[in-house]
């Protein structure tokens, strides 16, 4: 019992201090500081993290190393520790298996290297390093090798650029045209862009001659400057220190060999590093305090890790590593007591009972655990949950509220497992334990700036098909400068039918689009100057107008019907929203706001949520589901497969467990008797949410008060189901989910006739999926499975042939006998399929061997390795959807696309596999490849009959025609890009010396032509200076021409040309041109209904001077906003 007057902690910092005051704790700290060892037992739940924080707080100038059994244990420990210590906490991760070579962007390598570097930076405060035993068994680059492979560059240094380029390439960096990923660098004139793996952002180094003028970080997506730096340290991707002097036989230095001997290395040297290696323990200061948590389990995990490896060459032995650890002052922390001759502290801590998780009963149950004078410290994972729980306490019945208010303290922080401090009468519990939720991992996100949309146009290659809006389909044939009257302008070369070459000036580049159409389409080239293109455009415009008209009619019909109007968010809805354990992405917030606004309108909702796999569609849907239930309505969630129904049942039930919501499932996983009972309860209104397959739309299913229908992947249902859905749609709110993304251009074109929300922001801490293509190599399969098992994960093996799936199962059992395996496919009976899925979901099976039944919706964060057997038979979209089942954790996921030996692979299949292997989700290339999926998404929304129209004119022009049709039908002004034709003797091009890569040059031309405001133009000019250096005269004139164009459009001037001492301005708006003339006191002469004349002060032949004069003339007042 807590004694009267004893202070009750109200923060995690106070709780940590309380743990540090336990009897014997001070003696443990004293013993450690004097170089001795000690033990702490009774450390149940998260009290171990608090104990470590208390030890570290006693001397923040001392390094600490915490060793846990597995990497997952280490990551969860850091989540807790970061909230309770002032020390700098670093994770030292383990490779799942030692890589054959190190990629420049390898996050594990970067994190391990950062820890070694930090431990050797004596001018910085020591770190608190958290790791696991497998990580300590793996070698790190030797300190001398790191020193030799590191180059520090400072502002003011003399740096020959050629020498640095040679140094970077020799150390694993890749030269590219534009930096996107760690390990890449590029050169533009006197500017070097580089993305070191050890840095959160890319670095831009600007030189004047050989002297470094500036160093700054920048965002690779927006290319915008982030922060000015004084210096930067570049460390090689693969340390390549030379062998120690006198060592003829191996790459280790004598010191490293001695360390290897002491640590019992397995047949050193390591296969990973070309230079000397050593143990992380060699970098620890001798005064480092080592904390060993769950020692016996750590030893067991280390030995299991080595046993699973076929050849642990270069690794350190478990026994020798543990012996090395005890050379430091060390403390063993465990829950259970053990006999020890060392200084010991016995914490009076007990585990706490598991609560039911009911929102209604949670605080009542908690109250019943409390004796007189007892208190609770309830740890909330964020501020929103803190506020929500405070309000919940106030809502508790009067009999318990007074007691709870006086006995419960709320604190913000992440503790995963609660405990009871017996001597203090204190229960510590997390919000997740209170409601029996799975704790979400703490996440971090790098600072973001606005990114630019990826433009497929930038990937133009010679021979690619393009669409000229006015003239039709042609082939792109490169760029060329054309001289006219001594002035140069760059042109695009387009080849039309009959080998006719047309030169398009870059000032008109906005009229040219890359042709994108359905994968199977291959259109003919257009005859230049003929009428067929105009006819084809008109036909597509008519078809698009008809479709838009039909969609608008449907929208109007729905709007005319009375809907099931929901009230604004109630207090309970707000609680549900706050209980989401993650931070919503920007797109999720927007989509949730959209659908709630829809549901609060008197007309029925019909909204489509588009988002890539794993981007958070389910949570968005659950907000709508809860709102409907909270408004007294029932909800039906329709899914295409029984597996997805089972997945949604678990997800919805867990998310809504603490709220008064009844969730059920209706699918073939239910017996006939169970289905009858569920149908009856639906009719009575006893079930709030029912999740099911097509069985849900059977005629015998009756709802008491259906208010919302959620349809997941509607395109996967048959014709009969879709017809049935049409009738249901007319009566209730409908929310449709699809994992096939749609392009932003289509989204914008459909605004006003289709309610769409797109989720395009990836989840936090997303790591690109490592994708590899290869033959079915049993050694590779075993190695990848063992790697996943070593990190405590699970494996998908996709084989889409039921007739021989048992043979594949036997083969896998022979390859990896230590792994447990279960099989799932659609032809199994309901009980067996459900049992197989549950076995895998609960972690009892290591491998799920399945058909594509797992393609939709299966969400198991612990499964992060996938094999797709006979991958050449799948389309790009199918491969992408399957691959999306992994990569839902912070660990790197792996997807192996396996080809059967002796099987001939078609050229198209090879191209598909190469695309999905090479394109990283974090780079532009992947998003360009995604256009194939987006076109499929367009077909899903618009209907397959529109695919021919897209093929006829190309996707981008189709979207423009669609948008114009919608605007015409809604009597809105058309939105298209106006252009003022400017005829001045001024060169208009980017010199090759300034931007040499054609792709980058096209990007600048394209963005310049699309700059629709002076602000956008100024931003582009600033970016060019920052990215490529001082702007040369020809490129500066190009920017000025665009400025004149924008200012002219503001005054509604369509054409400017020279005529005997005058600049003639052909205008469209007499009122505006007279206003401009008035501002110039009549100097601008309006001569007729079309033309105004500006007498030139500059010589007519001096194009640049005329350009400056005209810009000044049109800048006399702020022009109106130009039409876009």
* Cα distances (angstroms) measured from residue 532 to each of 470, 474, 523, 529, 945: 11, 14, 13, 9, 21
Q: What is the mean pLDDT of residues 744-766?
A: 71
- What the block records as the tokens of 712 is 């997941």
| Distance from C-alpha of 673 to C-alpha of 694, rounded to nearest angstrom | 18
- What the block records as the tokens of 256 is 């490293």
pLDDT of residue 239: 44
| pLDDT at 1009 > cutoff 90 | no
Categorize the per-residue pLDDT at 133 as very low, low, confident or very high, splitting at 50, 70 and 90: very high
Q: Are residues 225 and 258 in the same domain?
A: no
Q: Residue 611 in contact with residue 617, Cβ under 8 Å? A: yes
Categorize the per-residue pLDDT at 258 as very low, low, confident or very high, splitting at 50, 70 and 90: very low
- Start-to-end Cα distance in the chain: 74
pLDDT in tens, 727-752: 777 778 999 888 766 666 666 667 66
pLDDT of residue 742: 65
| pLDDT at 946 > cutoff 80 | no
Categorize the per-residue pLDDT at 477 as very low, low, confident or very high, splitting at 50, 70 and 90: very high
Q: What is the mean pLDDT of residues 660-664?
A: 91
Q: What is the mean pLDDT of residues 7-16?
A: 83
| Distance from C-alpha of 183 to C-alpha of 202, rounded to nearest angstrom | 10
Q: Are residues 198 and 301 in the same domain?
A: no
Question: Environment class of residue 862 by beta-carbon count within 10 Å: exposed (0-12), middle (13-18) or buried (19+)?
Answer: middle
| Distance from C-alpha of 738 to C-alpha of 850, rounded to nearest angstrom | 22
Which of 373, 404, 434 is the endpoint of a domain?
434
| pLDDT at 1073 > cutoff 60 | yes
Which of 235, 268, 289 is the endpoint of a domain?
235
pLDDT in tens, 878-920: 787 788 888 877 677 899 999 887 777 777 677 667 767 766 5
> Is 735 inside a domain boundary?
yes
| Distance from C-alpha of 343 to C-alpha of 39, rounded to nearest angstrom | 6
Q: Are residues 838 and 903 in the same domain?
A: yes
Q: Are residues 686 and 616 in the same domain?
A: yes
**Please, what sign has the CA dihedral across residues 895, 901, 906, 907?**
positive
pLDDT in tens, 384-415: 778 878 877 777 766 666 777 778 888 888 88
What CATH number corresponds to the domain at position 597? 3.40.50.300
Which of 896, 920, 944 is the endpoint of a domain?
920
> Is 909 inside a domain boundary?
yes
| Distance from C-alpha of 666 to C-alpha of 669, rounded to nearest angstrom | 8
pLDDT of residue 238: 54
Q: Residue 387 in contact with residue 338, Cβ under 8 Å? A: no
Q: What is the mean pLDDT of residues 425-447?
A: 69
Say which residue, 367 or 281, is predicted with more confidence: 281
Q: What is the mean pLDDT of residues 1006-1021?
A: 90
pLDDT in tens, 1030-1046: 999 999 999 999 999 99
What CATH number corresponds to the domain at position 177? 3.30.2060.10
Q: Are residues 1036 and 1056 in the same domain?
A: yes
pLDDT of residue 575: 85
Q: According to the per-residue pLDDT averaged within each range, which of 423-432, 641-650, 926-935, 1080-1089 is highest? A: 1080-1089
| pLDDT at 261 > cutoff 60 | no
pLDDT in tens, 311-358: 777 789 999 999 999 899 999 998 887 666 678 888 888 888 777 666
Burial letters for 324-361: b for 16+ Cβ neighbours within 10 Å, e otherwise? Answer: bbeebbbbbbbbeeeeeeebbbebebeebeebebbbee
Pairing state between β 981-983 and 894-899: unpaired
DSSP reduced 3-state for 616: coil
Burial letters for 649-678: b for 16+ Cβ neighbours within 10 Å, e otherwise? Answer: bbbbbebbbbbebebbbbbbbbeeeebeeb
> Is 157 inside a domain boundary?
yes
| Distance from C-alpha of 268 to C-alpha of 288, rounded to nearest angstrom | 26
| pLDDT at 1048 > cutoff 90 | yes
DSSP reduced 3-state for 636: strand
- What the block records as the tokens of 897 is 């696309």
Categorize the per-residue pLDDT at 714 as very low, low, confident or very high, splitting at 50, 70 and 90: confident
Element (H, E) at 224: none
> Is 1077 inside a domain boundary?
yes
95: β partners: none
Q: What is the mean pLDDT of residues 1087-1095?
A: 92
| Distance from C-alpha of 960 to C-alpha of 140, rounded to nearest angstrom | 56
pLDDT in tens, 833-865: 888 888 888 889 999 999 988 876 677 888 999
| Distance from C-alpha of 1099 to C-alpha of 581, rounded to nearest angstrom | 69
> Is 11 inside a domain boundary?
no
| pLDDT at 163 > cutoff 80 | yes
> Is 527 inside a domain boundary?
no
Q: Which residues contact 1036 (CB under 8 A, 6 or more apart)?
A: none
Q: Are residues 176 and 261 in the same domain?
A: no
pLDDT of residue 119: 84
Q: Which residues contact 9 (CB under 8 A, 6 or more apart)?
A: 15, 17, 18, 377, 409, 411, 426
Mean pLDDT of the chain: 82
pLDDT of residue 658: 80
Q: Nearest to residue 146, comparing CAs of 182, 117, 174?
A: 117
* Cα distances (angstroms) measured from residue 172 to each of 105, 150, 183, 235, 856: 10, 13, 7, 10, 39
Pairing state between β 231-235 and 150-154: antiparallel
- What the block records as the tokens of 551 is 């969609």
Q: Are residues 197 and 70 in the same domain?
A: no
What CATH number corresponds to the domain at position 1060? 3.90.1150.50
Question: Environment class of residue 1048 by beta-carbon count within 10 Å: exposed (0-12), middle (13-18) or buried (19+)?
Answer: buried
Categorize the per-residue pLDDT at 250 as very low, low, confident or very high, splitting at 50, 70 and 90: very low
| Distance from C-alpha of 412 to C-alpha of 442, rounded to nearest angstrom | 13
| Distance from C-alpha of 989 to C-alpha of 999, rounded to nearest angstrom | 14
| Distance from C-alpha of 926 to C-alpha of 960, rounded to nearest angstrom | 24
Helix axes 1033-1050, 1014-1028, angle to 10 degrees: 170
Expressed as residue numbers, the domain containing 568 is 561-739
Q: Nearest to residue 880, comparing CAs of 530, 614, 617?
A: 614
**Please, what sign has the CA dihedral across residues 105, 109, 115, 120?**
negative
Q: Residue 1052 in contact with residue 1077, Cβ under 8 Å? A: no
Q: Which residues contact 201 (CB under 8 A, 6 or more apart)?
A: 195, 217, 218, 219, 220, 226, 446
Q: Are residues 130 and 209 in the same domain?
A: no
| Distance from C-alpha of 1017 to C-alpha of 1031, rounded to nearest angstrom | 14
pLDDT of residue 644: 85
Q: Are residues 850 and 719 in the same domain?
A: no
Pairing state between β 375-380 and 349-350: unpaired
> Is 813 inside a domain boundary?
yes
Number of domains in the chain: 6
Q: Are residues 578 and 726 in the same domain?
A: yes
Lowest mean pLDDT among 247-251, 376-380, 767-771, 895-899: 247-251
| pLDDT at 936 > cutoff 90 | no
Please confirm whether the linkage preceding 34 is cis (ω < 30° from 0): no
Q: Are residues 160 and 276 in the same domain?
A: no
pLDDT of residue 584: 86
Backbone angles phi, psi at 222, to 5 degrees: -95, -15
Question: Environment class of residue 602 by beta-carbon count within 10 Å: exposed (0-12), middle (13-18) or buried (19+)?
Answer: exposed
pLDDT of residue 1092: 94
pLDDT of residue 315: 87
Helix axes 642-655, 617-630, angle to 10 degrees: 60
pLDDT of residue 774: 85
Q: Nearest to residue 986, comparing CAs of 427, 487, 523, 386?
A: 487
What CATH number corresponds to the domain at position 311? 3.40.50.11180
How much of the chain exceeds pLDDT 90, in percent? 30
> Is 493 inside a domain boundary?
no
User: ∠ CA 1023-1024-1026 to the nearest 5 degrees?
Assistant: 65
Q: Nearest to residue 273, comparing CAs of 120, 365, 178, 171?
A: 171
Say which residue, 758 or 1093, is predicted with more confidence: 1093
DSSP reduced 3-state for 72: helix
pLDDT in tens, 504-530: 998 888 889 888 776 666 789 999 988
Backbone angles phi, psi at 960, to 5 degrees: -65, -45
Beta sheet of 770-775, edge-to-edge order: 770-775, 894-899, 863-869, 794-798, 847-850, 821-824
What CATH number corresponds to the domain at position 425? 3.40.50
Q: Are residues 135 and 214 in the same domain?
A: no
Lowest mean pLDDT among 31-45, 271-285, 475-489, 1036-1050: 271-285
| pLDDT at 451 > cutoff 60 | no
Give the HSE-up count for residue 128: Cα atoms under 13 Å, Cβ half-sphere: 24
DSSP state of 960: H
| Distance from C-alpha of 626 to C-alpha of 624, rounded to nearest angstrom | 5
- What the block records as the tokens of 314 is 């270069």
């Amino acid at each position: 019992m807590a004694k009267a007057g004893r202070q009750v902690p109200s923060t995690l910092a106070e709780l940590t201090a309380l743990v540090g005051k336990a009897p014997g704790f001070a003696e443990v700290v004293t013993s450690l500081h004097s170089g001795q060892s000690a033990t702490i037992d009774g450390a149940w739940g998260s009290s171990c993290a608090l104990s470590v924080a208390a030890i570290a707080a006693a001397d923040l100038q001392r390094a600490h190393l915490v060793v846990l059994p597995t990497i997952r244990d280490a990551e969860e420990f850091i989540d807790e520790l970061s909230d309770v210590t002032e020390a700098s906490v670093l994770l030292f991760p383990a490779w799942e298996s030692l890589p054959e070579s190190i990629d420049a962007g390898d996050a594990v390598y970067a994190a391990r290297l950062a820890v070694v570097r930090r431990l050797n930076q004596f001018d910085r405060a020591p770190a608190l390093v958290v790791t696991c035993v497998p990580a300590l068994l793996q070698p790190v680059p030797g300190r001398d090798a790191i020193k030799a492979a590191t180059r520090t560059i400072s502002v003011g240094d003399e740096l020959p650029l050629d020498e640095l380029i040679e140094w970077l390439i020799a150390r694993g960096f890749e030269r590219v045209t534009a930096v996107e990923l760690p390990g890449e660098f590029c050169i533009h004139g006197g500017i070097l862009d580089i993305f070191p793996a050890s840095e959160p952002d890319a670095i831009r180094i600007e030189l004047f001659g050989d002297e470094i003028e500036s160093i700054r970080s920048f965002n690779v997506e927006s290319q915008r400057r982030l922060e000015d730096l004084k210096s930067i340290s570049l460390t090689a991707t693969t340390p390549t220190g030379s062998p120690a002097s006198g060592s003829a036989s191996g790459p280790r230095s004598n010191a490293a060999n001695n360390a290897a001997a002491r640590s019992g290395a397995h047949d050193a040297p390591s296969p990973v590093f070309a230079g000397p290696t050593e143990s992380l323990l060699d970098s620890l200061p001798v005064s480092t305090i080592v904390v060993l948590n769950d020692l016996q389990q750590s030893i067991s995990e280390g030995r299991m890790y080595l046993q699973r490896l076929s050849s642990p060459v270069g690794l350190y032995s478990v026994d020798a590593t543990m012996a090395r650890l005890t050379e430091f002052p060390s403390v063993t922390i465990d829950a259970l007591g053990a006999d020890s001759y060392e200084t010991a502290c016995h914490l009076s801590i007990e585990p706490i009972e598991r609560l039911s998780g009911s929102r209604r009963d949670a605080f009542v149950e908690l109250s019943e655990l409390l004796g007189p004078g007892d208190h609770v410290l309830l740890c909330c994972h964020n501020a929103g949950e803190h506020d929500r729980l405070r309000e919940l306490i106030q809502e508790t019945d009067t009999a318990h509220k007074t007691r709870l208010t006086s006995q419960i303290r709320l604190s913000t922080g992440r503790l995963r497992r609660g405990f009871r401090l017996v001597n203090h009468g204190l229960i510590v519990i997390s919000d997740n334990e209170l409601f029996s939720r799975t704790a979400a991992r703490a996440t971090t996100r790098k600072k973001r700036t606005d990114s630019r949309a990826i433009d497929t146009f930038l990937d133009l290659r010679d021979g690619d098909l393009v669409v000229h809006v006015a003239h039709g389909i042609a082939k792109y044939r490169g760029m060329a400068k054309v001289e006219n009257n001594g002035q140069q302008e760059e042109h695009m070369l387009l080849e039309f039918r009959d080998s006719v070459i047309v030169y398009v000036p870059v000032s008109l580049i906005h009229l040219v689009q890359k042709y994108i159409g359905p994968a199977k389409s291959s259109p003919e080239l257009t005859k230049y100057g003929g009428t067929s293109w105009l006819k084809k455009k008109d036909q597509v415009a008519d078809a698009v107008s008809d479709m838009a008209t039909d969609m608008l009619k449907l929208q109007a019909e729905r709007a005319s019907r009375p809907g099931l109007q929901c009230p604004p968010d109630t207090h309970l809805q707000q609680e549900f929203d706050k209980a989401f354990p993650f931070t919503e992405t920007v797109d999720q917030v927007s989509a949730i706001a959209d659908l709630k606004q829809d549901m609060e309108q008197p007309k029925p909702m019909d909204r489509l949520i588009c988002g890539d796999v794993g981007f958070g569609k389910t949570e968005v849907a659950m907000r709508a589901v809860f709102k409907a239930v909270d408004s007294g309505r029932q909800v039906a969630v329709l899914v295409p497969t029984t597996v997805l129904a089972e997945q949604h049942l678990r997800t919805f039930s867990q998310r809504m467990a603490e709220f008064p919501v009844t969730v059920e499932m209706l699918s073939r996983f239910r017996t006939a008797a169970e289905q009858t009972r569920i149908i009856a309860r639906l009719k009575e209104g006893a079930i709030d949410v029912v999740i099911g397959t097509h069985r849900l739309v059977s005629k015998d299913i009756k709802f008491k008060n259906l208010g919302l229908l959620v349809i997941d992947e509607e395109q996967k249902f048959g014709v009969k189901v879709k017809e049935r859905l049409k009738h249901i749609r007319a009566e209730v709110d409908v929310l449709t989910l699809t994992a096939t993304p749609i392009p932003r251009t289509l989204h914008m074109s459909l605004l006003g006739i289709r309610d769409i929300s797109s989720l395009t922001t990836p989840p936090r801490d997303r790591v690109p999926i490592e994708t590899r293509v290869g033959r079915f190599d049993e050694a590779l399969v075993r190695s990848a499975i063992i790697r996943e098992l070593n990190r405590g994960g699970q494996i998908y093996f996709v084989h889409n042939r039921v007739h021989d799936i048992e043979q594949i199962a036997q083969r896998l059992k022979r390859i990896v006998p230590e792994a447990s395996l279960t099989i799932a496919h659609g032809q199994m009976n309901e009980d067996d399929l459900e049992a197989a899925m549950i076995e895998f979901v609960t972690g009892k099976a290591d491998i799920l061997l399945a058909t594509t039944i797992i393609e939709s919706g299966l969400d198991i964060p612990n499964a992060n390795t996938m094999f797709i057997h006979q991958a050449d038979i799948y389309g790009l979209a199918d491969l992408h959807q399957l691959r999306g089942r992994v990569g839902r954790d912070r660990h790197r996921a792996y997807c192996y696309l396996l080809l059967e030996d002796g099987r001939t692979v078609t050229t198209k299949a090879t191209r598909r596999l190469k695309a999905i292997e090479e394109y990283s989700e974090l780079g532009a290339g992947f998003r360009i490849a995604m256009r194939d999926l987006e076109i499929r998404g367009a077909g899903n929304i618009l209907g397959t009959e529109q695919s021919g129209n897209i093929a006829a004119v190309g996707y981008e022009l189709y979207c423009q025609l669609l948008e114009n049709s919608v605007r015409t039908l809604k009597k809105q002004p058309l939105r298209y890009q106006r252009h003022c034709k400017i005829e001045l003797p001024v060169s208009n091009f980017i010199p090759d010396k300034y931007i040499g890569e054609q792709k980058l040059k096209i990007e600048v031309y394209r963005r310049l032509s699309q700059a629709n405001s002076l602000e956008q133009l100024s931003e582009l000019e600033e970016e060019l200076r920052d990215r490529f250096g001082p702007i040369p005269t020809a490129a500066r004139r190009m920017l000025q021409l665009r400025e004149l164009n924008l200012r002219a459009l503001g005054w509604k001037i369509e054409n400017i040309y020279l005529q005997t001492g005058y600049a003639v301005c052909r205008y469209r708006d007499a009122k505006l041109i007279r206003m401009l003339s008035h501002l110039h006191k009549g100097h601008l002469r309006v001569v007729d209904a079309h033309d105004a004349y500006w007498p030139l002060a500059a010589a007519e032949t001096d194009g640049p001077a005329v350009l400056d004069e005209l810009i000044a003339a049109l800048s006399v007042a702020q022009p109106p906003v130009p039409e876009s």
